Chain A
Amino acid sequence: MKSKKSDELLIDHNDDGVDRRGFLKCMAWAGTGALCVMQGGVLKSFSLSRLGELDPSAAKGELHFVQISDSHMGFNKPANTDVGGTLKAAVDKIRALPKAPEFLLHTGDISHLSKPEEFDAVDQILKDTGKEVFFVPGEHDVLNDDGAQFRDRYGKGSQGAGWRSFDKNGVHFIGLVNVMNLKAGGLGTLGAEQLEWLEKDLQSRGKSTPIVVFAHIPLWSVYPEWGWGTEDSAQALAYLKKFGSVTVLNGHIHQTMQKVEGNVTFHTAASTAFPQPQPGKADSPGPMKVPAEQLRRVLGVTDVNYVQGQHALAVVDSSLA
């Protein structure tokens, strides 16, 4: 991989092994069926078709979990009239992992129209993983009722609009909600109450505690023109500055992207339902229609592997193909 890395690195501002060209290259691969591994702050990329060549130690660690996102149960238009089928394919992929994950994170847009039967269908399919699932809402999950149904179903142990934190194997997880009370012309919003809670939640944690933040809308400015960012994420990131290892997992944009900024690795997951265009590459962020035989290559699951003593988490995207 060493020679490959030197091929990808032009300018390395953060001394983290990733430059813009390498990042974009990784992004393009991921969208068409590749995986990226962040390990020790260095970007490692593998083609999905070469998964068998992956050093098994790269998939070993103290903690192993999976992120899925944007199931959009209830969506039934091109390019995917069977979002239940593709979610099931994601579950099959999870069940086939060489090492079973300890739990799942779902980063929102569980449903398409916040209908009870849509949530029911997702719950039924995810049951087959046999794993606990932690959810944060997407904007499609809080339609018409300000998220009351979401909190009723998935909010146990959460606060406010559904934000929460918990610890697993020495890693501190924080689920944030940035899809409520959106203002005209604006982006995702965390709000003062949640930011205050976050500051308090982090106060007692040691700097060496690895932090994983998960939320629906990206906490970095992916493409504000399409609303792909969060108004007050800078404040949240300021509270996270003191920590040596921070990984931010988001959904919403239905494609995989990564960015490293100092100690923070940002990562967005693919949708299990339908792809969306690359930023600015279409008139709008509406569903991208792809030929049926290509659909599963642009949908996916994210497999996260925490290796104690390493700087960052290893994040591996797998397509559903």
Chain B
Amino acid sequence: MRRSVSIAGLAAALVLGIELWGTGQKGSVTSAQGRMSTMEVKIDNFSFAPATLTVPVGTTVTWTNRDDIPHTVVSTDDPKAFKSKVLDTDEKFSFTFSKPGTFPYFCSVHPKMTGKVIVQ
């Protein structure tokens, strides 16, 4: 009985999740009709380049790991604004900045690696 209830709950969560995801998609389609841009940050030699990136609201930033060693891209804010899974060589992580502000981040594997995105 308990199991069937939790499965129902899981199904509900999934439906809800899909709906939310659908809404998110709509949102990004709308902004695409405005002026949506993408920016790149390269991870090379244990550093983010550029370390400081200034972008307009709605920009999608993509980080690419060009190192032989895995890295992550993790917001230092609490709660975290974004958090990538571990990126092996040539793997990418993207995040769309929908609010203005300064978003500091770091590599949680090599914490000396830090960067920030300024959204205007």
Q: Which of A75, A113, A286 contacts B45 (CB 8 A)?
A: A286
A287–B89 Cα distance when bound, in Å, is 13
Give a binary string over B33-67; 1 marks a CB under 8 Å from any A CB, 0 the rest. 00000000000011100000000000000000001
**B110 & A184 in contact (Cβ 8 Å cutoff):** no
By beta carbon, the residue of chain B nearest A143 is B86
**Majority-rule SS of A interface residues:** loop
By beta carbon, the residue of chain A nearest B85 is A144
What is the distance, in angstroms, from A276's C-beta to the closest C-beta of chain B?
10
Q: Which of A112, A225, A283 contacts B70 (CB 8 A)?
A: A112
Contacts of B105 in A (CB 8 A): 184
Number of A interface residues at 8 Å Cβ cutoff, please give it: 24
Does B76 have its Cβ within 8 Å of any Cβ on chain A?
A: yes
**B109 & A139 in contact (Cβ 8 Å cutoff):** yes
By beta carbon, the residue of chain A nearest B109 is A139
**B86 & A114 in contact (Cβ 8 Å cutoff):** yes
**B111 & A286 in contact (Cβ 8 Å cutoff):** no
Q: Which of B46, B106, B114 contacts A286 (CB 8 A)?
A: B46
Contacts of A284 in B (CB 8 A): 45-47, 67
Q: If A113-B86, A286-B67 touch, does A143 touch B109 (CB 8 Å cutoff)?
A: yes
Q: If A114-B86, A144-B85, A184-B106 touch, does A287 touch B68 (CB 8 Å cutoff)?
A: yes
**A140 & B104 in contact (Cβ 8 Å cutoff):** no
**A283 & B45 in contact (Cβ 8 Å cutoff):** yes
Q: Which of B47, B72, B89, B111 contacts A183 (CB 8 A)?
A: B111
Does A121 have its Cβ within 8 Å of any Cβ on chain B?
A: no
A75–B70 Cα distance when bound, in Å, is 10
Contacts of B68 in A (CB 8 A): 75, 77-78, 286-287
What is the distance, in angstroms, from A229's C-beta to the closest C-beta of chain B?
10
**B46 & A225 in contact (Cβ 8 Å cutoff):** no
Does B112 have its Cβ within 8 Å of any Cβ on chain A?
A: yes
Does B18 have its Cβ within 8 Å of any Cβ on chain A?
A: no
B70, B72, B76, B112: which has the most chain A beta carbons within 10 Å? B112
Q: If A139-B109, A284-B46 touch, does A184 touch B104 (CB 8 Å cutoff)?
A: yes
Q: Contact residues of B with A, CB < 8 Å?
A: 45-47, 67-70, 72, 76, 85-86, 88-89, 104-106, 108-112, 114
Can you report 15 A-B residue pairs in the complex whose CB atoms are below 8 A from each other?
A112-B70, A113-B86, A139-B109, A143-B72, A144-B85, A183-B111, A184-B106, A187-B111, A225-B112, A227-B111, A227-B112, A283-B45, A286-B45, A286-B68, A287-B69
